[in-house]
Structure 1
Amino acid sequence: MSVDRFVQSHTNKARTLISSGSLFEEEIGYSRAVVTGDFVFVSGCTGYDYKTGELSPDITEQAEQCLRNVASALSEAGATIEDVVRVTYMVPEREAFPRVWPVLRKWFGHARPAATMVSAGLMKDEMKIEIEVTAVKGSAKKKEEA
């Protein structure tokens, strides 16, 4: 993975495609995020550090890295974590999910998005959590103004 490819975007008619440079995106053929209008759809992010390719064996550290990856995609799209309106958590071992609650509360405690947790196998056994979000650009500001 090349660091200089960390964030790329290009516009395709009414939507902007954002890539983190992750090998998965290239191999499978998807975008890290898609922006259309004020909506930002961020693909499921795992705990890989896209700059180094490293993955911690700890679920809480993976959750932190997932959310750094999400925040990076949102930033490239012109949005923030505070703009997240929907989040889906996927964990292979549902018993482990409560261990990441403090991490999730830290990142989403103010935004308080609609949320779903699904217990499902992930692409690789070493992946402990995957997080997918939908954001509405500027919605945090609108909420604060209301």
Structure 2
Amino acid sequence: MQEVKKIATGSPWEDIVGYSRAIKIGNIIEVSGTTAPGANEYEQTVAIIEAVKKVLSQLDADLSNVIRTRIYCTDIAKWEDIGKAHGEYFGDIKPVTAMVEVSKLIDPNILVEIEFSALLN
């Protein structure tokens, strides 16, 4: 049986909802939908990716291991701001991605939420 490693970040949502921030099974890493504070979509996207970099490092991975991102936003008209931040980190890595508008996220101050999938070599 493959070893399963779960990462928690201490967010109150993890215990309330009952989930792990990230799970590593073998060479596969899945990171839950992640949000972060920020004044706008660009700042939130940067903060999310920076937070996930820390989570990945705990699993012996980094952004170069990311093969998929799934971006949820509350205003698709802001796609360029979100895309600019995403591109600053993933411009050379180029994981597959999707960006979709949702009516709202768990907190009205949250404008962006991103899930990540990574694969270790």
Relative to the length of structure 1, the TM-score reads 0.78
Residue 20 of structure 1: which of 2, 6, 9 is its match? 9
Q: Name the structure 1 match of 2:120.
A: 137
Please list the CA deviations of residues 64-103 of structure 1 after superposition, one character each: whole Å capped at 9, or x if unmatched: 1100111111111111101100110000111012112221
Which one-letter code corresponds to 2:81 in the other structure? R
Q: Which residue of 2 aligns with 1:92?
A: 74
Distance in 2 (CA, whole Å) between partners of 1:110 and 1:23 is 34
Instruction: Return the offset for 1:14.
Output: 2.6
1:57 deviation in Å?
2.3
Partner of 2:108: 125
Aligned AA (2:40) = D
Whole-angstrom distance in 2 between the partners of 1:94 and 1:58:
13
- Cα distance in 1 for residues equivalent to 2:28 and 2:42: 28
Q: Which has the larger radius of gyration?
A: 1
Match of 1:59? 41
- Map of 1:4 onto structure 2: none
Residue 125 of structure 1: how far off its partner (Å): 1.0
Runs of 4 or more off by more than 4 Å in structure 1? none
- Give the match for residue 37 of structure 1: 26
Alpha-carbon separation, structure 1, partners of 2:5 and 2:45: 26
Deviations 1:88-125 (A, max 9, x none): 00001110121122211111111100111111121111
Which AA in structure 1 matches 2:82? V
TM-score after normalising by structure 2: 0.93
* Distance of 1:77 and 1:24 partners within structure 2: 21
**After superposition, what is the alpha-carbon deviation per residue over 1:27-59, rounded to whole angstroms, capped at 9, x for unaligned?**
111000000000000001101xxxxxxx22211
Higher RCO, 1 or 2 (CA under 8 Å, sep at least 6)? 2
Taking only the aligned residue pairs, the percentage that are identical comes to 27
RMSD of equivalent CA atoms: 1.1
Q: Aligned partner of 1:125: which letter?
A: P
Which consecutive unaligned segments of at least 5 residues does structure 2 have?
A: none
Number of aligned positions between the proteins: 119
